Amino acid sequence: MKSDTEIWLKKYSEEFLRDVGISEGQTVLDFGCGSGYYTIPTAKIVGSKGKVYALDKNRECLNEVTEMATSQSLSNIEIIKTSGEAKIPLKDVSTDIVLLYDVIHSYHFSPPIRKELLREVYRVSKSNALISIYPRHMDLEEAYKDLVRANFLFEKRLFKKLLHNGTLVEDYVLNFRRK
């Protein structure tokens, strides 16, 4: 019997990410990428003309991303190890999309640090960049307000099947655009 993670990667991940707004040739930041269950399918979608920055503080998770990328001959992923701070070590206006999946909540970032993180997301995002958040452990309204206060424009709310901690769930994802 296949695990939910295997089912996600084989059946749902690419369709989900395309529905979110990822397409060929884009530059994507997967902030707090974990084991890469969004990174790997994103890299497949953006293809050789695109790039995915896989940023996380956990070296073991980043090693898993590297192993999966190598096993699938994906060379468009750049691993970025951080100390868990809100600082993003990328150039200004360098990304088309930022994924903030299951990271934008108080467990990882207190409200003042979350504000700092969103300033960084704004800084590295190109004009009209897509900011897609999965606020699993945070009230949707609070997440919405945080992003609007950070000068992002709400685009849409999606209710989709996605992966959370190795389990397939149906939940909300919020999409915003950088002004």
What domain range includes position 87?
Answer: 4-178
Structural domains in the chain (count): 1
Helix H, strand E, coil C: the string for 98-155 is EEEECCCCCCCCCHHHHHHHHHHHHHHEEEEEEEEEECCCCCHHHHHHHHHHCCEEEE
Cα(173)–Cα(158) distance, integer angstroms: 5
CATH of the domain at 19: 3.40.50.150
List alpha helices for 8-79, DSSP H: 13-20, 39-46, 59-71
Rounded distance between C-alpha atoms, residue 101 and residue 138, angstroms? 11
Residue 115 zone, left/alpha/beta (φ > 0; ψ -120 to 50; rest): alpha
Q: Using the CB atoms, write b or e for 125-159: b if 16+ within 10 Å.
A: beeebbbbbbbbebeeeebbebbeebebeeeeebe
Q: Cα(35)–Cα(56) distance, rounded to whole angstroms?
A: 9
Say how far apart CA 124 and CA 39 lie, in whole Å: 18
d(CA 134, CA 123): 20
Position 59, amino acid:
R
The crossing angle, in degrees rounded to 10, of helices 111-124 and 140-149 is 50
Angle at 52 between CA 146 and CA 33, to 5 degrees: 55
Ordered per-residue pLDDT tens for the chain, 179 residues: 789 999 999 999 999 999 999 999 999 999 999 999 999 999 999 999 999 999 999 999 999 999 999 999 999 999 999 988 899 999 999 999 999 999 987 777 788 889 999 999 999 999 999 999 999 888 889 999 999 999 999 999 999 999 999 999 999 999 999 98
